[in-house]
Amino acid sequence: MFEPFFRYLSLFKSIPEADRKLIESALTYHILAENEYLLKEGSVSHRLYFICQGIVRIVAQNEQGKEVTHFFLKENQLVTILESFTNDTPAKESIQAACDAEVIAISKSSLLDLYEKIPYLKELISYLTQQTLLTKIQTRNAYLGQDATARYQQFLLRQPEIAMRVSLQDIASYLGITQQSLSRIRKNSR
């Protein structure tokens, strides 16, 4: 059940069996249906998640009260609302399953306890979190200054596995265009 998480960690650091057992005792496994929330805006993020299967999206309400997708995360990525998780403040975004998903969770208190018992784990998790943030920034920057058609084409090139698995509504929201515009762009691209 937790094997995907340990396989991922072992890409960066060998985890001794005793440490693995300690970590495993702090983990929980969750199956999510499409559109189910891991965290709702306004709540404090008390968990760090690892995505085993599926795609989640970071989403927030804009000034008009409409949901806007800020980012998609997929298998073998960590996800939380970092500011909320770190500072124990209400999250300004939500985490929602963009399709059926399976995640492994660890509470902040359990993670801090593990950092005391397994000192290298803090450095490893920090590194992986930084890598996810860098990827988010690089991906979002690739779309800046482009028209809607170019953003969609860039999205297909950079994130094809996401394009095939999430709703057109979520893609349109992510690219900052209407669903009708996205349909038109897709039709003209064929």
Categorise residue 175: left if φ over 0, alpha if ψ from -120 to 50, beta otherwise: alpha
Residues 153, 123 within the same domain = no
Residues 6+ apart with CB under 8 A from 78: 48, 49, 50, 51, 125, 128, 129, 132
Residues 117, 153 within the same domain = no
Asked if pLDDT for residue 144 goes beyond 90, the answer is: no
Q: Summarize pLDDT for 87-96 with one digit per residue, the tens.
A: 999 999 999 9
Q: Which residue range is the domain that position 184 belongs to?
A: 146-190
Per-residue pLDDT band at 124 (split at 50, 70, 90): very high
Residues 108, 58 within the same domain = yes
Look at residue 142 in the predicted model and tell me its pLDDT: 86
Look at residue 145 in the predicted model and tell me its pLDDT: 87
How many structural domains compose the chain?
A: 2
Look at residue 175 in the predicted model and tell me its pLDDT: 92
Asked if pLDDT for residue 190 goes beyond 80, the answer is: no
Residues 75, 163 within the same domain = no
Look at residue 47 in the predicted model and tell me its pLDDT: 98
Closest CA to 106 of 44, 24, 43, 162: 24
Residues 131, 109 within the same domain = yes
Query: Taking the model in full, what pTM does it have?
Result: 0.92
* CATH number of the domain that residue 45 is part of: 2.60.120.10
Residues 61, 110 within the same domain = yes
Closest CA to 174 of 39, 58, 45: 58
Residues 64, 25 within the same domain = yes
